[in-house]
Structures are given as structure tokens and as C-alpha cells.
Structure 1
Amino acid sequence: MIKEKSIDHHLRATWQAVAKMYNEQATKHDSTMAVAFVLLNIDYENGTPSTALGPQMGMEATSLSRILKSMEEKGAIYREKNPKDGRSVLIKLTELGKEKREVSKLSVIRFNEVIRNNISQEKLDNFFEVTETINRLISNRDIF
């Protein structure tokens, strides 16, 4: 198989380039792409149940747990008992977390603006259709 014609090669190579770009930006703000991703997935006002974050982001619990611990140590988040369910914990943003979240949000917006300014809407629509189909095929176990 020629790797340049392999769909998964292009997906992986593109994601690695995007991840590298975001990590380079995050490093400028003493952060990582993973931390930025978590910040963007925490409800700004009400916080997010810790049990909902992993599935929401497609992240394993152990990886998320390490990231949350680091974020808490750096003062970006805090944990609070969920008033609706005393057994669960809400992850909430501190003021520092909210500031870092805005930086992350601006980076994502900028990336999307540049892509949208350089790729036609028709091609983007096709891209989204293709990725949705790939995800559906994988989730339905229609690949293997």
C-alpha cells in the first residue's frame, strides 16, 4: 500500500500537524493542547460534571484525571460538590482558567478563520460529510 494514498495516513498526518500547531501556541501560554481542550469543554458559568468531561472529549479517564490534577495545582480549575447529585463533582473554572480558556478559544477561532478563508465552503461541506461518514462507519463497527 502506498501511504500517500491511504486515508488513515492523511487523517493522522493532518491531525499531528494540527496538534503540533496548537501545542506550540499553548506553550507560549505555559499550557498544552490537552489542557486547552479541557478548558474549552468546561461550562463557563456552571462547571461540568467530571464524569461527563471524558466522554465529551473522547478522552480516557486516567489521562483526564492527570490533566485535571495538573490544572488544579496550577490554579486553573477547582472542584465543587454537585448540588444536584452529591455523589459527583463539578469541575469549575477559576479566573485564571477563564483567562486561559479565552486564549484557547481565540486560537481555535483564528485557526478556523484561516481555514475558511483558504478552502471553499463546498470543499468544507464535503470534508465534514466525509468525516461524519468515517465516524459513523467506525461507530457502527462497519469497518472490520
Structure 2
Amino acid sequence: MTYPDPTVAAIVGEHFVPLMVNIRQQPDLLQRYQAFWTPSVCVIAQDGTLVYRNEGWMPAPEFATMLILARGYYFYRRKRHNQAALVFNEMVTRYPRSPFAPEAQYMLGVCIYLSTGSSEEQEEAWRMLLQWYPASLWATKARGI
């Protein structure tokens, strides 16, 4: 189980309100959030808007970094780009070897641009992405722009 892990528990306790739903008993939620596989982690804003979803089990270290990434997406989807950039930067700085780090570095560049309008700073974030994670899908996306 990943939730009892101390790191996961600390992140969940500080930033999220966990809720376990039996999709057989609440099929309306399955449809609303398109949670067709188990386990599904859905990060939902206070207004019920889905801000991030991930499906399938993962070990605690990956789960913890996925939660940090999801928190960044929460701020991003709420157009709080400065806060999102801080979270994405924290994720890459603290967990550079996470499988979610390339995505966080990409999104850091996106949020820098959206908050400052500076293409130079965004390009610098993506240069780092290309340097640190050259074989990642997120580096491919950065190269395509």
C-alpha cells in the first residue's frame, strides 16, 4: 500500500483531502471522472473540476512525486502560474530522478512563460529539460515548439 508510506502520508496530509470511492457503489463518479481502471487517483478542485488523473498502482516514491506533480497541475489549471511554477520547480529539484520529473520540468517552462511572458526564461527551463531528460517524451514536445 502506498498511503501508509511516511512521505506519501505527509504530502497527502499537507495538501490533499483523501477520499476512497467504491465505483460499484457510486457509478456516477466513475462516469464523471472517467475513472475506468483501479486504482485511479483523481485530484479534484473544490468545485468538482478534475485537475489531474492517474491510473494504476505505483510504488510509494513514484506515488509521492506524482502527488507533487498533481499539486502543480492544480495551480496551473487554476491559472495560478507562479504557484504552479514553484511546485514544479520543487518537484524537479527534490526528485530529479522521478519518472515525473521531465513532465514537471516541461510544465515549469510553461508556467514561467504564462506568469512572466518571458520566452527566454521558458526556453531556459526547456534547455534544462533537453539536457537532463533528452530521451523523454517531454523533451520531444519541447523540441517541437
TM-score, normalising length from structure 1?
0.30
Structure (1 or 2) with the greater strand fraction: 1
Larger RCO (CA within 8 A; separation ≥ 6): 1
When Rg is computed on C-alpha atoms for both structures, the one with the higher figure is 1
